[in-house]
């Protein structure tokens, strides 16, 4: 897990900082961005292996961020987080190239499992 680099993108500051802290305790380096434009700037400087992306954000929507990521960084896997009723958006995200989507509140163990699967896919491993 030491080479796992994840970018968390969510406008809920407390949620995403707590999530980053919990991932750090599991040996995963997690950078945080609170909105889409900031996230894309961070990615340009130091691309992660996996992005965990909230769909519902002010300004640039999660789907818009996903489209840019898949266009400019097709090798990066994206896991979407959806709120209540976000199934339609989650399915649209999958159509646009997301690795998977999970409902909020997300279980950390489930998220870590999905990140592991995405890491394996991005490294070309099949398990």
Alpha-carbon span 14 to 17, nearest angstrom: 5
What sign has the CA pseudo-torsion 21, 77, 72, 61? negative
| Helix residue ranges per DSSP H, 5-107 | 13-25, 36-45, 62-72, 87-95
What structural domains and CATH numbers belong to the chain? 5-104 (3.40.50.2300)
Q: Which residues pair with 100 in a beta bridge?
A: 79
| pTM for the structure as a whole | 0.92
Q: What tens-digit pLDDT sequence spans the chain (127 residues)?
A: 557 899 999 999 999 999 999 999 999 999 999 999 999 999 999 999 999 999 999 899 999 999 999 999 999 999 999 886 668 888 899 999 999 999 988 999 999 999 999 998 866 654 4
């Amino acid at each position: 897990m030491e080479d796992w680099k994840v970018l968390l993108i969510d406008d809920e500051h407390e949620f995403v900082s707590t999530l980053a802290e919990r991932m750090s305790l599991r040996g995963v380096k997690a950078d945080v961005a609170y909105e889409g434009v900031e996230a894309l700037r961070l990615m340009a400087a130091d691309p992660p292996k996996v992005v965990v992306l909230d769909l519902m954000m002010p300004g640039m929507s999660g789907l818009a961020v996903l489209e840019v990521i898949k266009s400019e960084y097709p090798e990066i896997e994206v896991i979407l987080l959806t709120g209540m009723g976000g199934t339609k958006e989650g399915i649209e995200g999958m159509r646009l190239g997301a690795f998977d989507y999970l409902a909020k509140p997300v279980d950390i163990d489930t998220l870590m499992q999905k990140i592991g699967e995405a890491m394996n896919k991005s490294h070309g491993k099949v398990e």
